[in-house]
Structure 1
Amino acid sequence: MTHTDRAAPATALEHLHSLADIEQAAHGLLPVPVRDFVAGGAGSELTLAANRRAFEATRIVPRALRDVSGCDPATTLLGLPAAMPVAVAPIGYHGLVHPDGELAAARAAKEAGIPFTVATLSSRTVEDVAAVAGTTWFQLYWLRDRATTFDLVRRAEDAGCAAVMLTVDVPWMGRRLRDVRNGFALPEDVVAANLTTGTASAAHRASAGASAVARHTAAAFDPSLSWPDLEELRRRTRLPLIVKGVLDPADAARAAACGADAVVVSNHGGRQLDGAVPALEALPEVRAALPAACEVLLDSGVRGGVDILKALALGARGVLVGRPLLWGLAVAGTDGVRRTLDLLAAEFRDALGLAGCTDPSAATLLRTRRASDGGPSPW
């Protein structure tokens, strides 16, 4: 079984009142290896946990006596309208949790008015997803086969994608012990639909004490990716360029100098270097290192509307949300993703107004404190 065959009925969704509720429901539906593949992190999962602790330790100082009767969560991301400062993060293999895969999630994102990012390792092609999505971004892994890499960029352009997002923190996949212990492999009916190389089949060959997906990515991804490659990509595409997986301010500044229109502060959701700094902690210094025209997005650990507000207060233009939408997809396909995004939107608008902000831009003026010591945040 590759996904749940017992999706929750639509009427049950109204009884799920938070993203945590949806995650719990999904855990009861998915096979353990699939659940672990989505939920797990690298190594001892220290960074996975630290991402959440960083959000939990950050406190907002609300402003009073602000007229928030017209509170509006809408914004723009890379110059295009978004109903809230959120985009769907690139996640491979949606087909693991629901047969409609990325198509179901993309439809929900379109209804919610936010961008959807198609992953290189999507289980549906970029063309098929872009045909049903609204604003579409394409996430690119740098492949050993350079011709295929640039063909993917061309296909994204031809499909009408609004941006290319290059992921720079995966020279190879981090050691994810849940997958190793489960001997995780893709079922035969879930494929990397954007790739036609023979290495794709490696992701389906299970073996004890190893992750078949890790073997596949090691064979397909080019660990020699470096700054000249980013410069070449900038020359090769007319689309806005997003660089995802930046934590050091110096790297962020150099990415902007190479022509990046945005950077994503991310530790890959705790799935790469275990022990990496939480993305939220790295965010303020990265923002300070960049010119104002270069947008900053925050990825890794966002689990609710207040988290979005905290990210904006610390310098982000918006956030990427990943795992919560896969849980919604597992629970009820498009309806489940829609419910997840509706809850996220309601939570964010609530947080925005209660903090005294009329719109997302006002959140950048909020002060934050750390719960651990009660003093001003050093971030």
Structure 2
Amino acid sequence: MATEKILCIGDLEAAASKILPVSTRDFYNSGSTNQVTVRENSTAYNKYRILPRVLKDVSQVNTSTTLFDRNIKFPLCVAPAGLQAMAHPDGELATSRACARVGVHMGVSSYANHSVEQITSAGTEIGPIHHVMQLYSMTDREKEARIVRRAEASGCKAIFLTADSPVLGVRYNEWRSGFQAPLGLGYPMIEKTTEQIQQESHDEVFSSFNSDSHSWAREIPWLRSITNMEIWIKGVLTPEDVEMAIEYGCDGVIISNHGGRQLDETPATIDVPLLAQRLREAESESISTGASGLVATSSKRWHWERSVVGSYNGQKGVELMLEVLYNEFKRCMQLTGCKSVSEIRSSSLGIVRSDGPLARL
């Protein structure tokens, strides 16, 4: 039998989908209610066009950029995504090693199946990358503080406070299937054993620790009082919330609709106006090609890619995903005449208009 040839992210997703059980695949791929936002996170890119430049010397193209005071290979890092051990037993450990091998940073989910200590060690033993810790506002402040302290002691650079989840989004596929984490998988960061998880639905696990009384005034000063890590706000989609992040002295925002898994019919992040010009970095989700990465970078957005494709050969699958995206991104830079990330501009893009010819962005 011929070896399966993986040329693009679509090939990798298709190969991974053959391996994953239906309930696992649905958990990774599905969003809330009618999944309008899930679809538009990808289809929104279809209206953008990249404008090539010719006779440019791009023989010495440099794709690297700086994030958290450290160079990374290109403007992409891996998102904090939970339950990665459903895809492969190594889960977040494989992802961390792959990120270190390629040279990009990684986010760690509170729903990780391995501890932050294990995850950070797995990566930093291979290469000098940074990790960040995703965090929910919790009713048990001491438990939340333990997560923060463990993350800081493990060398994490920042807290990514998930701010768009006072309650869990309505995910019909999970409700229909009665989704639970498989037996044998625990959530060490939120201190839930596999036996405890088996007694609750996924919604009940979340509501058992999450606080719906969170607020700017309650969360940010308290976090500042217990950690020296940077504090970023994850889940921002409006200018008003960017201004609030500035007012409370946050170090950054993550422009994100939670992958369409929280409130449905929110805008695709690429279509949100440039909210974060006064902050240092921002995020765009659901980029699946290097060309899309160029579109997002020209809009001053950074992307943290979910790595469920790790089900395809674990660490090697994640490395393959990152290398595919890197090679496509580099080639797009060359074909648009950009020798460095700083040369990528919105003038490199056009947008399809229904009422006339292509408009320059």
Q: TM-score range by the shorter chain?
A: over 0.9
Contact 1:297 1:320 in 2 (8 A): no
Contact 1:269 1:299 in 2 (8 A): no
Partner of 1:50: 40
Q: CA deviation at 1:60?
A: 2.2
Deviation sequence 1:221-267 (CA, Å, 0-9, x none)? 11111111123223432112221100001101211221222211100
User: How does 1:65-76 map onto structure 2 within 5 Å?
Assistant: 65-76=55-66
* 1:370 has 2:351 as partner: yes
- Partner letter of residue 43 of structure 1? T
- In structure 1, C-alpha distance between the alignment counterparts of 2:14 and 2:232, rounded to whole Å: 32
Deviation sequence 1:124-178 (CA, Å, 0-9, x none)? 0001101112321111111111111111111111001122111111112211111
Partner of 2:84: 94
- In structure 2, C-alpha distance between the alignment counterparts of 1:164 and 1:23, rounded to whole Å: 29
User: How does 1:351-370 map onto structure 2 within 5 Å?
Assistant: 351-370=332-351
- Partner letter of residue 203 of structure 2? A
Q: 2:288 aligns with which of 275, 278, 303?
A: 303
**How has the CA–CA distance of structure 1 residues 43 and 365 changed in structure 2, closer, same or farther, with 3 Å as cutoff?**
closer
Q: 1:274 aligns with which of 242, 264, 288?
A: 264
Partner of 1:3: none
Partner of 1:209: none
More moved, 361-370 vs 238-247: 361-370
Q: What TM-score do the two structures reach when normalised by structure 2? A: 0.93
Q: CA deviation at 1:65?
A: 3.5
- In structure 1, C-alpha distance between the alignment counterparts of 2:199 and 2:289, rounded to whole Å: 36
Q: CA deviation at 1:357?
A: 0.8
**How has the CA–CA distance of structure 1 residues 376 and 233 changed in structure 2, closer, same or farther, with 3 Å as cutoff?**
farther
Give 5+ residue unaligned stretches, structure 1: 1-8, 207-211
* 1:146 has 2:141 as partner: yes
**How has the CA–CA distance of structure 1 residues 242 and 201 changed in structure 2, closer, same or farther, with 3 Å as cutoff?**
farther
Partner of 1:341: 322
The DSSP-based 3-state class of the residue aligned with 1:23 is: helix
Q: CA deviation at 1:81?
A: 1.1
Contact 2:120 2:155 in 1 (8 A): yes
* 1:313 has 2:298 as partner: yes
**How has the CA–CA distance of structure 1 residues 53 and 20 changed in structure 2, closer, same or farther, with 3 Å as cutoff?**
same
Deviation sequence 1:279-319 (CA, Å, 0-9, x none)? 1111x33134xx2xx22322322111111111111122x21
Deviation sequence 1:7-30 (CA, Å, 0-9, x none)? xx9x946x1111110100111111
- In structure 2, C-alpha distance between the alignment counterparts of 1:355 and 1:232, rounded to whole Å: 46
Give 5+ residue unaligned stretches, structure 2: 124-128
Partner of 1:224: 213
- In structure 2, C-alpha distance between the alignment counterparts of 1:12 and 1:124, rounded to whole Å: 32
- In structure 2, C-alpha distance between the alignment counterparts of 1:60 and 1:261, rounded to whole Å: 31
- In structure 2, C-alpha distance between the alignment counterparts of 1:65 and 1:181, rounded to whole Å: 56
- In structure 2, C-alpha distance between the alignment counterparts of 1:205 and 1:21, rounded to whole Å: 37
* 1:251 has 2:245 as partner: no
**How has the CA–CA distance of structure 1 residues 372 and 216 changed in structure 2, closer, same or farther, with 3 Å as cutoff?**
farther
User: How does 1:1-379 map onto structure 2 within 5 Å?
Assistant: 12=3, 15-133=5-123, 134-196=129-191, 203-205=197-199, 212-228=201-217, 229-282=219-272, 284-288=273-277, 291=278, 294-316=279-301, 318-322=302-306, 325-327=307-309, 329-373=310-354, 374-376=357-359
The DSSP-based 3-state class of the residue aligned with 1:160 is: coil
The DSSP-based 3-state class of the residue aligned with 1:295 is: coil
Regions of 4+ moved over 6 Å = none
Q: CA deviation at 1:375?
A: 4.2
Contact 2:44 2:270 in 1 (8 A): yes
Q: What TM-score do the two structures reach when normalised by structure 1? A: 0.88
Contact 2:168 2:203 in 1 (8 A): yes
- In structure 2, C-alpha distance between the alignment counterparts of 1:365 and 1:187, rounded to whole Å: 45
Q: Percent identity?
A: 30
- Partner letter of residue 297 of structure 2? L
The DSSP-based 3-state class of the residue aligned with 1:128 is: helix
Contact 1:95 1:101 in 2 (8 A): yes
Contact 2:138 2:144 in 1 (8 A): yes
**How has the CA–CA distance of structure 1 residues 62 and 257 changed in structure 2, closer, same or farther, with 3 Å as cutoff?**
farther
